[in-house]
Amino acid sequence: MLFDKFRDMADFQAELAARDIAPFGAVTEELLSATEGIVDGRRVILAGTNNYLGLSWDPRCIEAAREAAQRWGTGTTGSRLANGSFAGHQALEREIAQFYGVDHAIVFTTGYAATSGMVSTLAGPGDAILLDADSHASIYAGVNLSGADIIRFKHNNPEDLARRLRRLGDRASQALIIAEGIYSMYGDIAPLQEIAAVKREYGGYLFLDEAHSMGTLGATGRGAAQAAGVEDDIDFFAGTFSKSLGAIGGFCVSRHPEMEAIRYCIRPYIFTASSSPSIIASTREALRIVAAEPQLREKLWDNARRLHQGLGDLGLPVSPAPGPVVAVELEDRSATIDCWKALMEAGIYVNLVVPPASPSTNYLLRNSVSAAHSSEQIDAIINAYASLVERGLAAAAA
């Protein structure tokens, strides 16, 4: 039957309902700040929002959005190629290209559309795409649509990338190589110096998704490539507005002038209504803040190190290194769900990640850190996990 393939998920949802747990799609009924809210009737510290710099709540971004809505209305009601290309969209493209020090930029309605749209368009039948095995679902969606030959290399393994490029022979010089700056589940950073060196040796075009690293890494917040000193080796930078910039949308920037021709071939760009003026306005203001206020990144990393060390000191199986994402990896599904529920009852909202969203067969309690978190809030998160350890819940899940 048509619906048979959904039976496992339906059974899982029924199990959660029977246990009165709603870890997926938990409803935020009220936001009190960038780091606190009312979720499913309970006041909680928000530790699962990806609001890395807290800019969704910045009064300057809110005022920019308000003014834009008052001037331009609530929506564009059309795609960029129809009636949905406003002056603000063009201004943001100029500004984000300038932010990255390149000449060409395309703004998309979502980050998913940016990555899936670009990779599905850049490569086609007869081309080869080499992508990190832990790439985001939007990247996999794009490469599957491209019709290109898809080759996965081992996660964060430049040597495996090199082996696979060697096997391509002459085709390597035209291959599309895809990596991410920070990977969204464990928060690990790509070894971009080594990946860039492989690209220089074998050729190809390097596409880097900076969704979780834009705003969080680099001297001016441009991301992992800037932090690694390899920006000149990157052909396409993609990213999202829904993390550090506190809005929604996506972008791709490049030094290649062909970007202007590519724009008119990207189906998710051509056939999707453009972002509302208020979103564009708040994103422009957030981009300015990212460049002008490095202290936000400093506070983010102070919080990340504090949380990572605190959870590690409890003996929990945490991500290998501190970062904007700090994950606790557990093996038992039922016990992990119990841990998530106990954290909620303690006033801490985190993300529960289950396969296939997690990179392995294990389960994750995924914590995202914000510059807006106070030290006291970070300590409250650690203390809630300490309670899990004391009660034996974490041990049961490990």
- The residues spanned by each domain of the chain are 4-57+294-397, 59-292
217-228 pLDDT, tens per residue? 999 999 999 999
376-385 pLDDT, tens per residue? 999 999 999 9
In this prediction, residue 398 carries a pLDDT of: 63
Q: What is the dihedral of CA 179, 111, 301, 386, to 10 degrees?
A: -100
In this prediction, residue 151 carries a pLDDT of: 98
CATH architecture label of 59-292: 3-Layer(aba) Sandwich (3.40)
The residue with greater pLDDT, 354 or 304, is 304
Cα radius of gyration rounded to whole Å, the chain: 21
| 164-176 mean pLDDT | 97
Place of tokens 């690209």: 199
pTM value? Answer: 0.95
The edge-to-edge listing of strands for the beta sheet with 363-368 is 325-330, 363-368, 351-353
In this prediction, residue 267 carries a pLDDT of: 96
Topology of the domain comprising 4-57+294-397: Aspartate Aminotransferase, domain 1 (3.90.1150)
Q: How far is CA 125 from CA 149, 206, 215, 281, in A?
A: 7, 18, 35, 38
- Measure the CA–CA gap between 136 and 139, rounded to whole angstroms: 5
Q: How far is CA 397 from CA 15, 189, 308, 311, 364, in A?
A: 17, 26, 19, 15, 10
| 123-142 mean pLDDT | 96
Whole-number mean pLDDT of the chain?
95
Position 150 pLDDT exceeds 80? yes
Which of 2-11, 151-160, 232-241, 284-293 shows the lowest mean pLDDT across its residues? 2-11
In this prediction, residue 374 carries a pLDDT of: 98
Asked, colleague to colleague, whether 4-57+294-397 and 59-292 share their fold, the answer is: no
What's the burial of 354, exposed, middle or buried (CB within 10 Å: 0-12/13-18/19+)?
middle
Position 190 pLDDT exceeds 90? yes
| 11-34 mean pLDDT | 86
In this prediction, residue 21 carries a pLDDT of: 82
Longest CA pairwise span in the chain (Å):
60
44-94 pLDDT, tens per residue? 999 999 999 999 999 999 999 999 999 999 999 999 999 999 999 999 999
| 305-311 mean pLDDT | 98
348-371 pLDDT, tens per residue? 999 999 887 788 878 999 999 999
Which of 105-114, 122-131, 360-369, 389-398 shows the lowest mean pLDDT across its residues? 389-398
